[in-house]
Structure 1
Amino acid sequence: MSKFVWNQKLSEEIFAAKYMLHGEKSPEEVFRGISKEIASPELKENRKKVEEQFYEQLTSGKLIPAGRILANARPQSPMKNYNNCFTIDIEDSMTGIYDSLKEDAMISKMGGGVGFDISKLRPKGTTLSKGGQASGVISFLRIFDQSAKTIITGGHRRSAHIALLDISHPDIEEFITIKQGDRNKELTQFNISVKISDDFIKAVENDSDWNLVFDGVVYKTVKARYLYDLVAKNSYIHNEPGIFNQDLIEKYNNGYWAFKMDRVNPCGELVMPPYSLCCLSAVNLSKFVMNPFTDEAEFDFEGFIESVTIAIRFLDNVLDKTEYPLEKIETFSKQWRRIGLGFTALGDAFTMMKMKYGGSASLKLGEKIAKTLRDTSYNASADLAAEKGPFPACDIPKLLEANFIKELPEAILKKIAKTGMRNIQLNTVAPTGTTSLSVGQNCSSGIEPIFALQYDRSVRTGVEDETRTETVYDYAWMQYLDMRDDEEELGNAPDYFVTTMDIDPKKAIDMQAIFQKYIDHSISKTLNLPPGTSFEEYKDLYMYAYKQGLKGFTTFNPDGSMKGILEYSEKKESQSIKRVLAPERPVDLPCEIHQIKVKGNKYIILVGILNGSLYELFAIDDPEDHIDLKKYTEGIVRKAGKGRYDLHIESGPVTATMKDFTRTFDSPNGSLARFLSMALRHGTPLQFIIEQLSKDTNFEDFERALSRVLKRYIIDGEEVIAGENKCEECEGKLVFRDGCVTCPECGWSKCS
């Protein structure tokens, strides 16, 4: 009998807290309950065999069901919702809006996220038939947002939401800019995305006009490039809105003759029509790497095909066993039988194959995995159609004309022509956060690369306030450490251990594009931008993602995300100082290397980056005494002991280490760097630090060098919030631009 073995305490604890909810004492009991429940729609003579297939896949860790299945799918469970997210429709009438609000509340109560398109709602200021004016789409979104804050889903959490609005809607400018993080705390229960079209992108490229239209009436005409820049700017600073490529999504709609896929679930992996659901599971790719970390490593495609085939049956059965929050969703789902089988641990699988994520070898293997997933899924669905019947709305001649299906191998097309399909669409890539951390033993999530090799966390022991420190390891990194025979220092990872911040953004887009060619739904992925990415570079990435064929595009800018601590509201007299705990430093910390020359004096300043935020500063006063750092722009600062740090450089074939480079740090410059590091890791805004440096009447060369480096990390256009923030000439608001304090109104500028 299969046995599920834990190799990390954190994974076991999370699994127990999240999924052992029905009196189970072991993961095997959980998996047995799930297998029995999801196999129960099978014919009696086949039921036990299928149950054992499901059980073997679950206990081996090859198949990881979505969270609602793991938590709820048991014969005795009182909560029978096995699906994470749903879509609804919103009609342009008070009755329609409040009917949808009720539907939204019913879904939230069952523990589901909700996605909808609000493009049907009339724009702000439109005259109403009974007098008065329409309040616009944002006013109604606020009502849904408040409802989501009020309802605790599944008894323990608030519902996730996503709203989409067409780029031609007259309220689009307000929609694009409505979410500004902690500045306004708007729509906190929502993600938002803008639906763009091929015509819009052409208008952007040609710098053409773009009409904002509703119900055939042009409300306003703007430059398409202005709207594009507005979307990009708000996303660059506040990480929203995302992009929804409507024409590309519709091009690959298998049910094109019956509905439009004009909305998405909150995480963005399933593009769907209204009243659809997310029926999700993932195959764990790390389980199919044979002979990991050796030159003989290979991917077990035969085993992968077997798991995918079983997983398609598993998800199809989920549709028959789940309870639905709305009759409309049940009717539509059973007519079309939409499912979403994806994968997780792609980053770990590449690493175990000794491939760098984003390199040519990984792209080649990724494409083979993606194509195998598609072909196996469609073949399995056709076999299920022969066994159990096609989805009720199946129209075989029309199905065979779908653009995505026409790209399938000839043998599968012949099978579909004979049997039809059991499911209208089959594949996706979901984020798999908690399930990958628990069942996946902290494997890399979904399509993402490894986030971090290891980190420390504090755990309460249960004895008063006593805590212990526990190290959490990435799955592949732990496997690698377990296989080593030598006693090499912790942190010395081979170069194929690539983490999120190591990857060029365009290579990450290329990887997503490779998989999107073979995924009939969409892919949930957030592109993490390297610190210091300029706005112009960011806009280019937006266009690059569109050209590469991504159905959706979402980013996280670590510099932009700092806006919450860079901006403050008016201080109240009674306001107390809040003490902020600094995040713990890992053994290895990526750094950026800056070469600065001030009045003939040369300085090299290292800026340590933790999860996209500035964490520490080091200064090397006399670089001639060390390796020639002028050739390099990045490295790793490795903590070698108490107060001891090594600088590790890897650039192509060149590898160099500067041992204990802080040994001469006990100087005024070293002390200043220490204090600034302390301020950075405790959340002090960069503007305040830079202003304090410039206030020194002597403003020594080293302070000037530090100031120049730190200014590079302030976003252009950021408002000045420290000291005198009004222009000396016109009293307009000052902003940072190109490292200087500038007034956009009159052009006054001051550079320190």
Structure 2
Amino acid sequence: MSKWKWEQPISEEIFFQKYGLFNEENVEEVFKGVASEVSSKEIEAKKWEEIFYNELIQGRLMPAGRILANARPNSPMKNYNNCFTIDIEDSMEGIYSSLTEDAKISKMGGGVGFDISKLRPKGAPLSSGGESSGVISFLRIFDQSAKTIMTGGQRRAAHIALLDISHPEIEDFITAKKGDKNKELTQFNISVKVTDDFINAVKNDKDWDLTFDNKVYKTVKAKELYNKLAKNAYFNNEPGIFYSDTVNRYNNGYWNFNMDRCNPCGELVMPAYSLCCLSALNLVKFVSKPFSDNPTFNFKDFEKSIEIAVRFLDNILDITEYPLKKIEDFSKLWRRIGLGFTGLGDVFAMLKIPYGSKESLILSEKIGKTLRDATYSASSDLALEKGTFPSFDRDKYLDGEFIKQLPDWLREKIKKQGMRNVQLNTIAPTGTTSLSMGQNCSSGVEPIFSLSYNRTVRTGNGDETKTENVSDYAWRLYKSIFNTEEKPDYFTTTMDIDPYKSIDVQAIFQKYIDHSISKTLNLPPGTSYEEYQKLFMYAYDNGLKGFTTFNPEGSMKGILEYNDKQKTVTRRVAPERPVELPCKIHRVKSGNKSFLVIVGLLNGSLYEIFVIDDPKEEINLDTDKKTLVRKSDKGKYDLIFSNGSKTIRLKDFTNRYDSIDASLARMISMSLRHGTPLQFIVSQLQKDTHFTAVERSISRVLKSYIKDGEEVVTSEGFCPECNEKLAFRDGCMTCVSCGYSKCS
């Protein structure tokens, strides 16, 4: 009988569906098989089998999916690594050779990442005559191949393609994917390689050359290209950002290669023909007395588990089968591994610390530093025991920017003993392992997604999915202790957290992580495009190596959904109304009745309107004269105008000459004050099936204030086809780029 207790059905179901592939009856059998296989090359194999098994059964060590699924002594599928990178050369032979490599990796159950910046752009001449069909056309071939091949018989291959920000086809690449709108490149994530020079060009509003093979194909404004990138990511949740100069600044193998690509989730930045050898430590297992008056994080036990996990991952490199000889050779020369953690959001809650608070940043700093130092120390000890990685160059390694930041005692240790692994740390998303083996602890470095939510999972029957309710690990623990559904303030979830604070947490850990961090910044509903642009730059300025976001109001559905998810809109604060506003008066007629439409202007823009019965029987207002509307009291307005040599003040004119359309005028005024474009107000007025003469007259008055060619500058004013700006031309909302038009 199993001693492992499943806390909710979905965790057990997912675990055995994904990892219990050898007819194991319980968790212990799975872990014994993994421990036996991973320890098989050790001199003291039985000793390490027991140690590895203990880490697994205690839930501290969570190997990546391919290890849990495949690592058994009798496994026919000996691939124990999740993802790989390949290269693509700029020739037909090179492209199709890479396609074959890609297919071999996918067949073994691995994801694939590559950089397509070497490929010539669309329209570039070919040596054999003719023109290139471009990078996107070749991506479609890889995409179709990925759709055809089931990786390891279970899932379709995950891919990521990166393109440099200076490539001539970058604009098409940025806008290639529009989520559920066009379902393009569905097996690919796409990311743009952004350089320091480009960011500086954006900040200084400079031109940017799009070049290939030393030829300038086009020059654009850097800021406009940046806006296109940010806009497509905001509306369609892709592309992501790969800050290439930041990545290579901390490349431990800088003297031999550039880290110019990554795996599909982005947590490992690597050169071509590398792999992802991954595991995570479950941080919740190192918390003592959770939710008490004195909860603590046990750093000594954390360090011990780190030491064991480094050996565990290093062994994987010697027992796994490799899909390509090039990957095997390169991996054994450098012995790259990726140890990270999961459960951070739950740990903050268990220690009664809100995610993103000052206390959480202090704890993050200590966890990150402990992970880095203990990992590098363990690898150095392994180098003494088993030998350094073959490409180790002591002087060059110690001169690396990341290594220079290590404490003196650790640098001295590396100088004497060397290193077993070139780079060692990452933070992966750990979605499935956190849900199953982690009993739905929070994933990776992410905050708690929600205390409970619906998750879409595959049934194992082709593309068929189902939705199940899931509750968070720490929340279940809290409820079991206190027997209450009342949520304390320190239980912060994704939608509770200021996006800037979420970036701050990631930035703290990135200082101590030699690879990268896979984190998706979930935007709070209602985040405006203008706010999003600032987040884009904030991520770069704070040293992130990559940046990926998810807008719940974008064009791509998420895997996780809130139970109480609601559609929200951006709220804009109206500018304060001065006591006096200049206005213009328009006289309109409805049948035999005359009305006045009085339009108030703030800094030349429409701010409010009033609709009143025409008081010409009492006093004849000259609509050509300058007029003011003065607010005399709450809800009371005076009209001040000239009549000959006299200045006349018409007190409380809105009540004195009240119109049945006054309520409509107030609603229009509210829309104007809060920034709704005139084009949309006019369009809504004209949609009314009970359109009255007064409404028609009001819409004509408002329409006269729209300048031909005027762009809609709010985040709602973008083309539904290509997301470029819309402008008002000849009575129609017209896209400035693709020509889409909608007439009012």
TM-score category (smaller protein): 0.7 to 0.9
Q: Please give the root-mean-square deviation of Cα atoms over the aligned residues, in Å.
A: 3.3
Match of 2:531 in 1: 537
Alignment of 1:44-63 (within 5 A): 46-63=44-61
Match of 1:111 in 2: 109
What SS does the corresponding residue of 1:128 show, helix, strand or coil? coil
Match of 1:498 in 2: 492
Deviation at 1:730, TM superposition (A): 3.4
Deviation at 1:455, TM superposition (A): 3.8
Match of 1:548 in 2: 542
Asked if 1 retains the 8 angstrom alpha-carbon contact of 2:236 and 2:555, the reply is yes
Asked if 2 retains the 8 angstrom alpha-carbon contact of 1:743 and 1:749, the reply is no
* Alpha-carbon distance in 2 for matches of 1:715, 1:111: 41
Which TM-score applies when normalising by structure 1?
A: 0.76
* Alpha-carbon distance in 2 for matches of 1:747, 1:81: 53
1:394-431 per-residue CA deviation (whole Å, 9 max, x = no partner) reads 11111110110111111111111111100000000000
Report the CA distance shift for 1:245/1:698 in structure 2 as closer, same or farther (over 3 A).
Answer: same
* Alpha-carbon distance in 1 for matches of 2:571, 2:262: 43
* AA aligned opposite 1:217: K
Moved more, 31-40 or 132-141: 132-141
Moved more, 126-135 or 449-458: 449-458
Match of 2:690 in 1: 697
What SS does the corresponding residue of 2:292 show, helix, strand or coil? coil
Match of 1:651 in 2: none
1:144-197 per-residue CA deviation (whole Å, 9 max, x = no partner) reads 111111111111211000011111111111111111122222111111111111
Report the CA distance shift for 1:34/1:692 in structure 2 as closer, same or farther (over 3 A).
Answer: farther
Deviation at 1:530, TM superposition (A): 1.4
Match of 1:604 in 2: none
Q: Does 1:245 align with 2:239?
A: no
* Alpha-carbon distance in 2 for matches of 1:260, 1:391: 18
* Alpha-carbon distance in 2 for matches of 1:60, 1:472: 22
What SS does the corresponding residue of 1:483 show, helix, strand or coil? helix
Unaligned 5+ segments in structure 1 are 461-467, 566-582, 598-686, 702-711, 736-741
Asked if 2 retains the 8 angstrom alpha-carbon contact of 1:390 and 1:422, the reply is yes
Q: Does 1:336 align with 2:329?
A: no
* Alpha-carbon distance in 1 for matches of 2:521, 2:127: 45
1:8-42 per-residue CA deviation (whole Å, 9 max, x = no partner) reads 22111111111111121100000000000000110
Match of 1:645 in 2: none
Asked if 2 retains the 8 angstrom alpha-carbon contact of 1:559 and 1:715, the reply is no
Moved more, 408-417 or 27-36: 408-417
Query: Percent identity at matched positions?
Result: 64
* AA aligned opposite 1:408: L
Report the CA distance shift for 1:749/1:173 in structure 2 as closer, same or farther (over 3 A).
Answer: same
Match of 2:218 in 1: 220
Please, which of 161, 182, 203 is the counterpart of residue 159 of structure 2? 161
Moved more, 215-224 or 57-66: 215-224
Please, which of 435, 449, 456 is the counterpart of residue 451 of structure 1? 449
Q: State which structure, 1 or 2, has the greater radius of gyration over its C-alpha atoms.
A: 2
Report the CA distance shift for 1:171/1:26 in structure 2 as closer, same or farther (over 3 A).
Answer: same
Match of 1:348 in 2: 346
* Alpha-carbon distance in 2 for matches of 1:166, 1:595: 36
Please, which of 87, 92, 95 is the counterpart of residue 94 of structure 1? 92
Report the CA distance shift for 1:747/1:68 in structure 2 as closer, same or farther (over 3 A).
Answer: closer
1:94-147 per-residue CA deviation (whole Å, 9 max, x = no partner) reads 111111010000001101000000111111111122211111111111111111
* AA aligned opposite 1:547: D
Report the CA distance shift for 1:136/1:57 in structure 2 as closer, same or farther (over 3 A).
Answer: same
Asked if 2 retains the 8 angstrom alpha-carbon contact of 1:3 and 1:59, the reply is no
Deviation at 1:717, TM superposition (A): 2.6
Match of 2:408 in 1: 410
Match of 2:315 in 1: 317
Deviation at 1:592, TM superposition (A): 8.6
Match of 2:519 in 1: 525
Match of 1:30 in 2: 30
* AA aligned opposite 2:137: S
Deviation at 1:330, TM superposition (A): 0.4
Asked if 2 retains the 8 angstrom alpha-carbon contact of 1:82 and 1:279, the reply is yes
Asked if 1 retains the 8 angstrom alpha-carbon contact of 2:440 and 2:473, the reply is yes
What SS does the corresponding residue of 1:210 show, helix, strand or coil? strand
* Alpha-carbon distance in 2 for matches of 1:481, 1:238: 37
Match of 2:378 in 1: 380
What SS does the corresponding residue of 1:559 show, helix, strand or coil? coil
* Alpha-carbon distance in 2 for matches of 1:459, 1:192: 23
* Alpha-carbon distance in 2 for matches of 1:264, 1:53: 32
Please, which of 133, 136, 143 is the counterpart of residue 135 of structure 1? 133
Match of 1:635 in 2: none
Deviation at 1:733, TM superposition (A): 4.5
* AA aligned opposite 2:241: I
Match of 1:6 in 2: 6
Please, which of 220, 228, 233 is the counterpart of residue 231 of structure 2? 233
Asked if 2 retains the 8 angstrom alpha-carbon contact of 1:433 and 1:445, the reply is yes
* Alpha-carbon distance in 2 for matches of 1:330, 1:451: 37
Deviation at 1:483, TM superposition (A): 0.5
Report the CA distance shift for 1:459/1:105 in structure 2 as closer, same or farther (over 3 A).
Answer: closer
Deviation at 1:731, TM superposition (A): 6.7
Report the CA distance shift for 1:728/1:165 in structure 2 as closer, same or farther (over 3 A).
Answer: closer
* AA aligned opposite 1:103: E
* AA aligned opposite 1:263: R
1:377-407 per-residue CA deviation (whole Å, 9 max, x = no partner) reads 0000000000000001111111110110111
* Alpha-carbon distance in 1 for matches of 2:297, 2:524: 31
Please list every run of at least 4 consecutive aligned residues from structure 1 whose deviation after the TM superposition is greater than 2 angstroms: 1-5, 455-460, 468-472, 583-586, 588-597, 690-699, 717-721, 726-735, 742-750
What SS does the corresponding residue of 1:10 show, helix, strand or coil? helix
Deviation at 1:533, TM superposition (A): 1.4
* Alpha-carbon distance in 2 for matches of 1:453, 1:384: 41
Report the CA distance shift for 1:95/1:543 in structure 2 as closer, same or farther (over 3 A).
Answer: same
Asked if 1 retains the 8 angstrom alpha-carbon contact of 2:429 and 2:519, the reply is yes
Report the CA distance shift for 1:31/1:720 in structure 2 as closer, same or farther (over 3 A).
Answer: closer
What SS does the corresponding residue of 1:560 show, helix, strand or coil? coil
Unaligned 5+ segments in structure 2 are 459-465, 575-679, 696-711
Report the CA distance shift for 1:590/1:220 in structure 2 as closer, same or farther (over 3 A).
Answer: closer
* AA aligned opposite 1:17: Q
Moved more, 310-319 or 213-222: 213-222
Report the CA distance shift for 1:133/1:29 in structure 2 as closer, same or farther (over 3 A).
Answer: same
* Alpha-carbon distance in 2 for matches of 1:371, 1:693: 62
Asked if 1 retains the 8 angstrom alpha-carbon contact of 2:345 and 2:446, the reply is yes
Number of equivalenced pairs: 609
Asked if 1 retains the 8 angstrom alpha-carbon contact of 2:526 and 2:569, the reply is no
* AA aligned opposite 2:388: P
Asked if 2 retains the 8 angstrom alpha-carbon contact of 1:343 and 1:429, the reply is yes
Match of 1:304 in 2: 302
Report the CA distance shift for 1:694/1:163 in structure 2 as closer, same or farther (over 3 A).
Answer: same
Deviation at 1:4, TM superposition (A): 2.5
What SS does the corresponding residue of 1:5 show, helix, strand or coil? coil
* Alpha-carbon distance in 2 for matches of 1:694, 1:188: 37
Moved more, 142-151 or 336-345: 142-151
Alignment of 1:251-270 (within 5 A): 251-270=249-268
Report the CA distance shift for 1:302/1:424 in structure 2 as closer, same or farther (over 3 A).
Answer: same
1:686-744 per-residue CA deviation (whole Å, 9 max, x = no partner) reads x9xx9699636389x9xxxxxxxxxx9x95234479xxxx9997374558xxxxxx999
Please, which of 362, 377, 386 is the counterpart of residue 360 of structure 2? 362
* AA aligned opposite 1:299: F
1:183-231 per-residue CA deviation (whole Å, 9 max, x = no partner) reads 2221111111111111111111111111111111111111111111111
Match of 1:71 in 2: 69
Deviation at 1:541, TM superposition (A): 0.6
Match of 2:507 in 1: 513
